[in-house]
Each structure stands twice: as C-alpha cells, then as structure tokens.
Chain A
Amino acid sequence: MRRYAAIVRNMFLESLNFRADFIFMVLGNLVGVFLAYYLWRAVYAGSGGTLHGLGFLQAFAYVAVSGCIFTMIETWAEWDLAMSISRGDIVLRLHLPLDLHLTTLVESLGIFLTRLVFTGVPFLLLIIFAFGVPVAAGINLIFFTVSLFFSFLISFNIDFIVGVTAFSFESVLGLKLIKDAVILFLSGAVIPLAFFPEALRPVLMVLPFQAMYYTPVNLLLGEKSIPESVLMLLIQAGWIAAFMTAGRLFHRKILGKLTVSGG
C-alpha cells in the first residue's frame, strides 16, 4: 500500500505545478456558478416558488454542487491513458512492479485530491455561504465525503474503460467529450432529475450515472433519512463493484493486446 501511496503523493505534488490550470479552473467554476444562479432564477421567475417539487435554492444547489463534483472527479484519466498508449509512454508504467489498473487509479486519485483541496472545498464553501444554499453541519457531511470518493471510483473506472478502448480511435478527445456530456445529462447534473419526464425517471434511476452526481448532492443537502442515506451509499458501492470488475476485465484484456508504439 505504501508503494501506491508514494505515487499518490508525487501526483499530488506534481499537479500543484499547474497553477495556471487551477486559476482557470477556479474562474471557470465561478462563471459556471453565476450562470447557473441566474439561469435558474430566470426559470423560477413567476413560478410561485416551487417547480416539480423543488424550490429555487434546491434546484440551484443540485446544479452548482454537481458542477463542482464534476471538476473534482473529472481527472482526464481516459485522455492520459489513451495518449500514453498511443505514444507508447505506457511502457514506463509497465516497467514498474505494480498493477497497471491500480497505478492508473492512484495517479488519478492524486489529481482528485488536489482538486478536492484547491477547488472543491472552496467552491462548496462559496455555494453555501455566498449563495445561501442550506447545508446542515451534521452526519450528512460525512456521508457526502464518502459518497464523493465513491463517485470518483465509478468515474475513474468508466474513464479507464474509455481510455483503453479509445486509443484505437482517431478522436480520443471527441469520445471523451461525448462521454462527459452523456454522463452529466443522464446523471441529473445539468438538469435536476426532478425535471425529467415522469416516464424517464425510473430508467435514469436504474442507470449508474445518477449514483455519480445525484447521490452525493442528495447526501450533502441532507434531505434523506439516515437509513435512506446508507442505502444510497450501498447502491453506489454496488456500482463501484460492477465498474471495478469491468475495469479489471478490460485491464486483463488490454495487457495481451498492447503493441506499445515507438522506440
């Protein structure tokens, strides 16, 4: 474990070097939060307070917190992986006496942690204190933290699978953007699930994507009872197990197929 921890540490240190990236990410988030605020205020104008059972602050909170989660769990792992396969840099990871899937995971974890500390937490504070989103200071915070980490694990494994399949396509970036757009939409991160047509909602609830955004946001806002919250976490854990297994299968399959370019 210490071996992988050392990689997390270095990846954390290394991503601290991209200060300009952070500044732009923070600015981007800031713009996003303001846009969401004014957009949803316009949507709610003249609505008499609630739409589809959600108040304005709730709807805004869903979208703003989801955006914030996206910037944390979106570590470009699929891009890094596809690029390192197509450029052949993947050999450098294969030379280490480590598991490729786990190594990629902990590298991604290092980036996730930097994002959490330097953009995630400040933005959550901003949303809560500047915009007045009601978040209780109780067990919901612990549920949220666990759930956020779970979301990262699901997201990483999807990225891993996309990354190892994407390198054979000419457009890794295109595939990545489509994947992000689909996940954000179907998970209720762009438009709260409550706003989706009645018929569609049960379908979305059995898809894995809601577990990545809807679950942590719900747990943060603390609208569910403790047993309900625990159940949501368990469902999320179930999705992690499924995606971890799929990631392992792809990992096994790809190792024999790698041709490792260059040299």
Chain B
Amino acid sequence: MAMLEVHDLEVNYGVIRAIKNISFEVNEGEIVTLIGANGAGKTTTMQSIVGLIPKKSGKVIFQGNDITKIPCHKIVHLGMTQVPEGRRIFQELTVYENLLMGAYSNKDNASLKSDLQTIYERFPRLAERKNQVAGTLSGGEQQMLAMGRALMSHPKLLMLDEPSMGLSPLLVDQVFEIIKDINKGGTTVLLVEQNAGKSLAISDRAYVLENGKIVLSGTGKELSESEMVRKAYLGG
C-alpha cells in the first residue's frame, strides 16, 4: 500500500522551474531513496512535500489523505517527520531540550521518559551530552541529535535529507546502519542522498532526479547495476 504518493509536483523559485512535474510513491515499510547531483532538486522536493516550500501544482497524498494544502506545522501530527538538510538542530538549546522539541507534537507526554530513554539507548553519545548546548556538538553528534529529535515524534514516515553530508566515512556507515535499523523497527523511510552507493545498497526502491525531473527508477539493486547510474553517480 502506498503510504506517500506524490503526483505531478511542480515547484518554482520565481521564474526558475526547480521541480518539473514529478510523481513517485513510497510504500509502507520501504526505504525509498531519491538520488541526484547537487542542485537536482532533492531538497526542494522534500521540503515542498511537507509544505516548507510552496508547491506550484501537484498533489501529495499521505495514508490516503490529501495533504497538499496542509500547513507545515500540522504535517508532523499526521505521522510524517523530516530531518532537514544541514540538520538544523536548535543550537542554543541543550541536547535534552532539542529532544523535547521533537516531542512538541505529541498529544500526551505519558511516554516522554521512555521515549527519551529509547533515544539515549540508540544514541549513547546523546545521553552523555544531554545537558550540553547543541551548538557545541560535533557534526556527527548533531546528525544523531537531528535523527533522535525526529524520532521523538513517533513518525510513520521518516524523511531524511542527506544525513551523511559532511560526515567521516566511519560515521557515514553508522548513519546508514541506524537508518536500516529504524526501518526494521517498522518506520517507512524516504531518503535523499548524493552518496548513491551506500543509499542504493539499503534501499528497496530508488528514483534518480536530474534537473527537477525523475529520469530513472527501479529497485535499489537494479539502479546500482544500471549503466547510467554507475557512470553518473557511482564513479564508473
């Protein structure tokens, strides 16, 4: 069953046509990746889906409901949470307070303590630094915090925009392991990556975005074996 359906999405920045009529879907339980070069329109796609950037036209359906015109701050209540590009954690707040902000949309906070515990178990570094101001964390720790913060809202669909950006190879592997693990726990994942090799390896399906258009789609395996993807995104 399709959890997220995007139909004929178009997004403009002034006269620039950033996204030109794209359609794709994410089924329940899947990891789906959008790969594409810098400037292809991945972030624009992700942010317009949740209403952070206005859509020119098109339709977004989440769990059967049309959410095209729902304002951004209501999206998370529906079960769709995004870890934005560049992490965008709240630098002036502590690690603990950032996680609380992640739980902002939760209706009752009965499970707050155990939710925090779960996050601290998954990311022990965050537990060690829970009272530290988030702006002083390293890049890897900030990415862990951004993911932990998103998980506090119990998303059914987790959207991650370039979670491996700027991280050391060791941390990149760790991030992909965590994404796989989150998915195993029952959360559907929509991933955006420039790191095509690693992301295709964990993806059920993927789409290739070029200049605001989807030019190729298939299973993770099909795409990593495709001539075009190998040439353009996997360095041969």
Instruction: Report if A and B associate in a common complex.
Output: no
Chain B interfacial positions (CB closer than 8 Å to A): none
Chain A interfacial positions (CB closer than 8 Å to B): none
